[in-house]
A and B are shown apart, each in its own frame.
Chain A
Amino acid sequence: MHPFAYVAPGTVDEAIAVLNEHGDRARPMAGGTDLLVKARANVWELDAVVDIKNIPELMNLSVGSDGLSIGAGVPCYEVYENSEIVADYPGIVDGASIIGGIQIQSRAGLGGNLCNAAPSGDGICPLIVYSAVARIASSSGIREVPVEDFCTGPSQTVLETGDLLVSIEVPKPAANSGAAYTRFIPRNEMDIAVAGVGVFVQLDSSGQNFESARIALASVGPTPILAATTGNSLAGKPVNDESIAAAASLARDAATPITDMRGTIEQRKQLVEVLTGRMIKQAVERARG
């Protein structure tokens, strides 16, 4: 591992100054569970690691009347141990509670999961289906990017030199909505998704019809994918086996997987179809309370 300096600034401005000074030879570190692995493997040769955990706004986790704000450095356990988040944002809890094992969840968080931009990132599809937005600070101010536009390729994001993810803002879901995320892995825990599916549904007040839906797919493309056509196909449809099966079939078409050591194209497409059906049903169940 290339010897790097450890810097732990207390403000966003100081962090950005260090990031700007070192360019691509510095990286922000939240839990370090991806960063230190990449540094050790010499994927990244770093002169400075900027620990963001002393910056209060990056460690803030708050549930308000307009939504959920997740600081970029907040670890997974804080998300899934928060009873308000469990009640109001169960799809996000689904993702946060399956990233790594308990040791990893003490450190890793949704902010790092997003910035790491793995196609399989279990935290990303839930954020996409909840229409979450990434707040990014740079020396020229704050900008906001919808999470579905954040990842641009495997390990590639919209972040440029000197950019720092501050928080992820999740709008408060309306009444009669529900969400869920799951993945398929050969073990029960501690593995990388062969395929993953997140679903958010908005039902009408009767609970019998879809008003809208958002569906996102993991591990079946170069980034987590918002399957917009699939989600939109449910709008106005009654909640029944036929409408759900039709959407699941569209999700299969939206998946663009590769064959690799974890699974084949055919297996992954099949998984997407099956998991999409299951997650729509689970999201509906949660929407109906």
Chain B
Amino acid sequence: MTTNTPSKVHVTTTINGQQHELLVPGYMSLLDTLRELIGLTGTKEGCLDGNCGACTVSIDGRIVDSCLVLGAEVDGKEVSTIEGMATPEGLHPLQQAFLEEAALQCGICTPGFLVAAKGLLDNEPSPSEGRIRHWLAGNLCRCTGYDKIVRAVQKASS
């Protein structure tokens, strides 16, 4: 049995509009690729098994748990993270609404909620409360009890 470390994978990917060329170990998650290789630590590690949504990012406009994606898989794809939401001109409307509605306490789940909510509003600008709650079922928050988060998403929707 070979004990050699498997070779790394050459990945060219766009992250928040910027192209990156990376050598990624085949077994490295997208979460670790973002945090450890690129230094984008806004995406948080929570449960590491797809239950909590803290590590939510979007790939080609679809939200995913980045702990359950390999970095090697995003070759040729466009990844968006929490760092891509605000602009030099100001916060994203969802971020502003989270502040105004006090939709966070400890904040560890917040980047995941924001990226997930953006994934909804980008495609459905005026979702119902039920639709928002269903969409965000894959994101867990242990502080707020969700009502403030849902209100913030409603406030940011048109």
Contact = CB atoms under 8 A, between A and B. Distances in A.
Q: Nearest 7 pairs between A and B by C-beta?
A: A101-B138, A6-B26, A5-B6, A189-B137, A106-B62, A6-B72, A103-B138
Contact of A3 (B6, B9, B135): B6
Interface residues of B, number: 34
A36 B67 CA distance: 8
Contacts of B69: 32, 107
Contact of B68 (A48, A53, A107): A107
A40 B27 CA distance: 10
B25 A190 contact: no
A104 B50 contact: yes
Contact of B63 (A2, A4, A106, A187): A106
A2 B69 CA distance: 16
A100 B138 contact: yes
Contacts of B111: none
Interface of A: 1-8, 31-33, 36-37, 39-40, 47-49, 51, 53, 77, 100-104, 106-107, 187-190
A36 B51 CA distance: 13
B70 A32 contact: yes
Nearest to B67: A36
Nearest to B11: A6
Contact of A190 (B9, B26, B51, B116): B51
B7 A5 contact: yes
- Greatest chain A CB density within 10 A among B26, B48, B64, B68 is at B68
A85 to B, nearest CB: 18
Contacts of B72: 6, 8, 51
Interface in B43-94: 48-51, 53, 56, 59, 62-65, 67-70, 72-73
B134 A103 contact: no
Nearest to B7: A5
A36 B6 contact: no
A4 B26 contact: yes
A188 B49 contact: no
B38 to A, nearest CB: 18
A53 B76 CA distance: 13
